[in-house]
Amino acid sequence: FKGGDTCEYLLSSGRFLGEKVWQPHSCMMHKYKISEAKNCLVDKHIVFIGDSRIRQLFYSFIKLINPQVKEEGNKHGNIPFEDKSASIKVDFLWYPEVNGSMRQCIKSWTEGSVEKPHIIVAGAATWSIKIHNGSNEALTQYKINITSIAPLLEKLAKSSDVYWVLQDPVYEDILSESRKMITNEKIDAYNEAAVRILNSSSRNSKAKVKVFSVSKLIAQETIMKSTDGLHLPESSRDTNAMILMNVYCNKIMKPIDGSCCQPEPPLTLIQKLAFCFFTLSIIGYLIIHLIHRNNYRKNKSCTDLESGEEKKPAISAPSVSTLEMLLQSFCKLGLIMTYFYLCDRANLFMKENKFYTHSSFFIPIVYILVLGVFYTENTKETKVLNREQTDEWKGWMQLVILIYHISGASTFLPVYMHIRVLVAAYLFQTGYGHFSYFWIKGDFGVYRVCQV
- The catalytic residue among 176, 200, 205, 228 is 228
For residues 355 and 24, give the distance between their C-alpha atoms in angstroms, rounded to a whole number: 13
Beta-bridge partners for 80: 91
Cα(175)–Cα(185) distance, rounded to whole angstroms? Answer: 15
CA 233 to each of CA 31, 93, 97, 168: distance values in angstroms, whole numbers, following the listed order: 19, 22, 23, 12
79: phi then psi, degrees, rounded to nearest 5: -130, 115
**What span, in angstroms and rounded, lies between the C-alpha atoms of 422 and 396?**
10
Would you say how long the chain is, in residues?
452
The rounded distance, in Å, linking the Cα atoms of 441 and 123 is: 77
Q: Which stretches of 169-323 are assigned E, i.e. beta strand?
A: 210-212
227-230 LR contacts (CB < 8 Å, sep 24+): 228/174, 228/175, 228/176, 228/179, 229/170, 229/171, 229/172, 229/173, 229/174, 229/175, 229/176, 229/179, 230/52, 230/53, 230/126, 230/170, 230/175, 230/179, 230/182
Distance CA 90, CA 48 (A): 8
- The yes-or-no answer on residue 76 being catalytic is no
What φ, ψ does residue 155 adopt, rounded to 5°? -65, -40
Are residues 207 and 110 in contact, defined by beta-carbon separation less than 8 angstroms? no
Q: How far apart are CA 232 and CA 429, in angstroms?
A: 54
CB contact burial 307-336 (16+ within 10 A = b; e otherwise): eeeeeeeeeeeeeeeeebeebbebbeebee
What is d(CA 430, CA 444) in angstroms, rounded to the nearest whole number? 17
Pairing state between β 79-83 and 88-94: antiparallel
Q: Would you call 94 helix, strand, or coil by DSSP? A: strand
> What's the N-to-C CA distance of the chain in angstroms?
39
231 is catalytic: yes
* Residue from 13, 52, 235, 436 carrying the catalytic annotation: 52
The yes-or-no answer on residue 434 being catalytic is: no
State CA 77 to chain mean position distance: 37
Report the alpha-carbon angle 21-27-33, nearest 5. 55
Q: Which of 25, 30, 45, 231 is catalytic?
A: 231
Catalytic residues: 52, 228, 231
